A and B are shown apart, each in its own frame.
Chain A
Amino acid sequence: MKREFLLAGFGGQGVLSMGLFLAYAGMGEGKKVAYVPSYGAEMRGGTANCLVTISDREISSPLVSDPGVVVVMNHPSLLKFEPVVRSGGILLINSSLAHRDTKRQDIESYSIPTQELANQAGFSRGSNMIMLGALLEATGVVDVTETYNYLVKTFNGRHLDKMPQNMAAIQVGREFMREYRQQSEASIAYA
C-alpha cells in the first residue's frame, strides 16, 4: 500500500506543517515515508507545496506525477494542481480562498470553508488544522487517536500552549467532513 499526498497553498498557511504531520504519522505507524518540499523560486514567490509519500515498502521515487490525495489551500493551487489528482483520488479545496468547486467528474472532491470554521472554533489562525482534520477524516490514513503525539512531533515540541486550540480545530474539521460525507451519500442515495 502506497499513498501520496500533495499539499499546496501560499507561504504561511501551514501546508508544510500539514505535510510534516503526515510524515510523522506515517513513521509512527511503522511505514516508510518521504517528504519533498517545494523548493526554489516558488518558495520565494510565496507559494508553497510539499509531496508526502507513505508506503509499506521502500519508496523508490519520492516523486509522483499523479498523487492520490491533493489539498489546495488557495485559488492558484487549485488551478495548478486540480489536473494532477489521480483518477478516483481525493481533492480537498479550501473554499475560503479557492472560489469554485472542482470541474472534474472522476475524483472525490470536497470544498471546506476552513477560515469560517476556524473563526467559529474561536481560533482564526487554525484553518490549516481544520483542513488537517478534514484530511484525516476523508483519507483515514492514520490512527487519529495518536493525533496529539504526531502534532507534538510536527512542531518539534514547540507551541505546546497552542495545542488545545489545534486539537479543537482538527476535531471541527473532522466533524465537518463526517457530516459532509453523510450528506453526499444521502444525496447520492436520493438521486
Chain B
Amino acid sequence: MSEPILMKGNEAVAEAAIAAGCRYFFGYPITPQSEVLEHLARRLPEEGGAYIQAESEVSAINMVFGAACAGARVMTASSSPGISLMQEGISYIASAQLPAVLVNIMRGSPGLGGIHPSQADYFQSVKGGGHGDYKLVVLAPSSVQELIDHTVLAFEIAEKYRTPVMVFGDAMMGQMMEPVFLPEAEPAPIDRSWATTGMKNREKPNIIHTLYLPADDLENHCQRLFAKYREIQRQEQLHTAYLTDDADILVVAYGIMSRVARAAVEMAREDGIKAGLFRPITLWPFPDQALFQAASHAQAVITAEISMGQMIEDVRLAIKDKVPVELFNRIGLVPNPDEIYEAIKKKAQEVKVSA
C-alpha cells in the first residue's frame, strides 16, 4: 500500500470524486466547503474534466441535472444555505432517476446562521427537503478517510440505483486534517444506455423527464421509485455498534459526533458504567432494526447531535420508545468528550446502573 497523505477533509472529498471517476463539477463557493471547489477547479482540467463555477446554487444544481442526463459522472458540493437553494433541482434529479453525488459540509443555521460545525440539515436531507415523494440516500462519514471512502461509495450507490446520493460533513470535518489513503481501484464501468447522448446507434430516442400528467402515470412512477427505495433499504443500510451488547446506556451519534461519543463511551467504561455507541452510517436508509437490537439491553438512550434534536425522532421510531430517549446537544461547536461523558454519568445515576 502507498504512503498515507495528510489531507484536509474538503480536499479529500475532491480527490475522492476524481478517483471515483467524476469529471464534472458545478458549484458555487460557500464557507466552509470552498476548498472542495478550489481543489477541483485546479484538478479537474488536469484530468480532462470540467469545473464550472455557476452564478448561483440554483444554477449549479440544474447544471448537475443536465450533465447527469447526458450521462456524466457528476457532483456538486455546498454548505447548508446553498443546499437549501438546490432543493428543487434535487427533487427533479430524484424523479428523473439520475445518478449524482451531492456533498453538504454543514454549517450553523437557520438562516445565514454561522460558519461553525453543524448537523442541523438532517431533516432537510433525510426527510425530504425538495417537493414530492422521493428519497435521498444520505451517508455520514466521521473521519477524513471516511469522507474519501463514502464519496466513492456515494458514486457507486448513485450509479447502481440511478439516484442522487448525499454525503454529509460539517465545518470541522471539512477543515481538519488526517492521514489518508486514496483509493487505487479503477471506477466501475458505467451503464449509460438510458442517457440522452444523441441518436447514434439507437432506433428510438432516450427521453428523460419528470412530468406525468395522467394521474395513473404519476402513480405508477411513484410506485416504481418506491420499489427502488425499498430495495435500497434492504441492501444499503450501514452502521457500526461499539460495546452495545451489554450496554445499559446507549449513545447514538453520527458523523464527527460519533467520534466524540466513542471517546465518552470509553471514559464511561473506565468508570465502570456500561455504555455503548450505535453509529448510523446511512442516515437514510436509517438502520432501524440494527439500532433496535443494539438497544435491547439499554435502560436509557442518549442521542448526541449538533442540532436541536433531529435524528432523535428516527431513534425513537427505531427503538419504538421502549426506553426513554434523551437529547444531548450543542450548537455552533463540536463538544469535548467529557461533556457527553457527564451526560452518560448523569443518566446512569438516574436509571441506577452506575458502578
Mark A residues whose CB is within 8 Å of B: 20, 23-24, 27, 32-37, 39-41, 59-65, 153
Residues of chain A within 8 A of B266, CB atoms compared: 60
Residues of chain B within 8 A of A20, CB atoms compared: 6, 177
> Is residue B347 contacting chain A, with contact meaning CB distance below 8 A?
no
CB<8 Å pairs between A and B, sample of 27: A20-B177, A23-B6, A27-B6, A27-B179, A32-B179, A33-B6, A36-B176, A39-B115, A39-B172, A40-B114, A40-B116, A40-B171, A41-B114, A60-B259, A60-B263, A60-B337, A61-B259, A61-B263, A61-B264, A62-B172, A62-B176, A63-B260, A63-B335, A64-B336, A65-B336, A65-B337, A153-B6
Known contacts A24-B6, A33-B6, A65-B336; decide if A39 and B32 are in contact (CB<8 Å): yes
Contact with A along B132-172 (1 / 0, CB 8 A): 00000000000000000000000000000000000000011
> Is residue B338 contacting chain A, with contact meaning CB distance below 8 A?
yes
Q: How far is the CA of A153 from the CA of B177 in the complex (A)?
A: 14
Q: Are B175 and A37 interface neighbours, CB within 8 A?
A: yes
Residues of chain A within 8 A of B336, CB atoms compared: 61, 63-65
Known contacts A23-B177, A36-B172, A39-B175; decide if A63 and B116 are in contact (CB<8 Å): no
> Is residue B38 contacting chain A, with contact meaning CB distance below 8 A?
no
Q: How far is the CA of A37 from the CA of B315 in the complex (A)?
A: 32
Q: How far is the CA of A168 from the CA of B179 in the complex (A)?
A: 29
Q: Are A61 and B115 interface neighbours, CB within 8 A?
A: no
Q: Are B262 and A60 interface neighbours, CB within 8 A?
A: yes
Q: Are A27 and B171 interface neighbours, CB within 8 A?
A: no
Q: Are A35 and B178 interface neighbours, CB within 8 A?
A: yes
Known contacts A27-B4, A27-B6; decide if A61 and B337 are in contact (CB<8 Å): yes
Q: How far is the CA of A59 from the CA of B4 in the complex (A)?
A: 16
Count B-side interface residues using an 8 Å CB cutoff.
25
Q: A37-B175, A153-B6 are in contact. List 8 more A-B contacts (CB 8 A).
A: A20-B6, A34-B178, A35-B176, A36-B172, A36-B176, A62-B178, A63-B260, A64-B337
> Is residue B334 contacting chain A, with contact meaning CB distance below 8 A?
yes
Q: Are A62 and B171 interface neighbours, CB within 8 A?
A: no
Q: How far is the CA of A171 from the CA of B97 in the complex (A)?
A: 62
Q: How far is the CA of A61 from the CA of B116 in the complex (A)?
A: 18
Contact of A61 among B32, B177, B262 (CB under 8 A): B262
Contact with A along B247-264 (1 / 0, CB 8 A): 000000000100110111
Q: How far is the CA of A62 from the CA of B32 in the complex (A)?
A: 18
> What's the minimum C-beta distance from B289 to chain A, rounded to whole angstroms?
26
Residues of chain B within 8 A of A33, CB atoms compared: 6, 178-179
Q: How far is the CA of A164 from the CA of B16 in the complex (A)?
A: 36
Q: Are A40 and B115 interface neighbours, CB within 8 A?
A: yes
Contact with A along B107-127 (1 / 0, CB 8 A): 000000011100000000000
Q: Are A41 and B6 interface neighbours, CB within 8 A?
A: no
Q: Are A37 and B176 interface neighbours, CB within 8 A?
A: yes
Contact with A along B226-270 (1 / 0, CB 8 A): 000000000000000000000000000000100110111010000
- Chain B stretch 318-355: residues in CB contact (< 8 A) with chain A: 334-338
> What's the minimum C-beta distance from A61 to chain B, rounded to whole angstroms?
4
Q: Are A63 and B334 interface neighbours, CB within 8 A?
A: yes
- Chain B stretch 261-318: residues in CB contact (< 8 A) with chain A: 262-264, 266
> What's the minimum C-beta distance from B85 to chain A, rounded to whole angstroms?
22
Residues of chain B within 8 A of A65, CB atoms compared: 336-338
Contact with A along B159-202 (1 / 0, CB 8 A): 00000000000011001111100000000000000000000000
Residue with the greatest number of chain A CB neighbours at <10 A, chosen from B6, B172, B259, B262: B6
